[in-house]
Structure 1
């Protein structure tokens, strides 16, 4: 799998993508890929790519690879968001969620809607600095890959 990813990155660099552009695309895609609302990241990644004129194939590869991280970070965002605003804790146990959804759908939407908003607040605080760090960490990596992928012209 990593060989395929490496091949895609190398091909993008050979086709004229800059190391800075690829680093920016990866960083923004990583930021969007861990958004705490499930099922939204592909569209958000597409829109972010259009907005920054990012490399869409690379952005969607990053989005695909970070899906497990999105699942793992969801409780973190929920708990941090609840802590930030002092809200009561909502359970994320699937049986309890299904039970609440089937008994009182309006209360379910209110409770989990607010929890989702709090999770988005936590995501908005945490991810921009992480994306900035990731961008600055990936630039030298992609520069090195570019030097290896595109040989120097023979004089």
Structure 2
């Protein structure tokens, strides 16, 4: 069984155990939103607090958070670009600049990395409501449709004759 099917089965099992489509959609929206946040190493802890504060399922929010980690690097670049435009600076991180600073001047990269993180965080904060709402509405529609179309109890397997 591939990882996509296993992951979707975990979410489907949570629905079967009584988690509502609204709660599951909130878990996934929060998990993905915090998973792409450009601050490394804090999203797991933030997911714990969000799930506790809103009474959400820890398994669902953490799974969505971990699944979003590969998007974090891409998100960092996009959020950094947006943040640089908001603060009206031309000092945003590009791949060419990153390669150049890694090869020639690591000290300058470390000096500017804080600025890049702040710019990316500003971009993330600006886009967070739109990202959250998009993921929430998409998941809510999907899970609601899934619940109404398919029975929650899996079909019983018949022994082969």
Q: TM-score, normalised to structure 1's length? A: 0.81
Instruction: Provide the residue aligned with 1:96 in structure 2.
Output: 101
SS in structure 2 opposite 1:54? coil
Assess if the C-alpha contact under 8 Å between 1:79 and 1:89 holds in 2.
Answer: no
Instruction: Provide the residue aligned with 2:118 in structure 1.
Output: 117
Instruction: Provide the residue aligned with 1:17 in structure 2.
Output: 19
Distance in 2 between residues matched to 1:22 and 1:79, nearest whole Å: 31
Distance in 1 between residues matched to 2:64 and 2:99, nearest whole Å: 28
Assess if the C-alpha contact under 8 Å between 1:31 and 1:128 holds in 2.
Answer: no
Higher relative contact order (CA 8 A, sep 6+): 1
1:43 shift after superposition: 1.7
1:68 shift after superposition: 1.3
Q: Which is further off, 80-89 or 27-36?
A: 80-89
- Runs of 4+ deviating beyond 4 Å: 97-101
Assess if the C-alpha contact under 8 Å between 2:31 and 2:68 holds in 1.
Answer: no
Per-residue deviation, residues 61-119 of structure 1 (Å, max 9, x unmatched): 11111111111111111121111102241546156258655x47xx934x322221121
Structure 1, unmatched stretches of 5+, are: none
Q: Which is further off, 39-48 or 3-12?
A: 39-48
SS in structure 1 opposite 2:40? coil
Per-residue deviation, residues 118-137 of structure 1 (Å, max 9, x unmatched): 21111011121121122112
Instruction: Provide the residue aligned with 2:130 in structure 1.
Output: 129
1:44 shift after superposition: 2.0
1:23 shift after superposition: 0.6
Task: Report the aligned-residue RMSD.
Answer: 2.3
Assess if the C-alpha contact under 8 Å between 1:34 and 1:67 holds in 2.
Answer: yes
Q: Which is further off, 36-45 or 21-30?
A: 36-45
Evaluate the alpha carbon distance shift between residue 98 and residue 41 of structure 1 in structure 2; reply closer, same or farther with a 3 A threshold. farther
Distance in 2 between residues matched to 1:95 and 1:39, nearest whole Å: 26
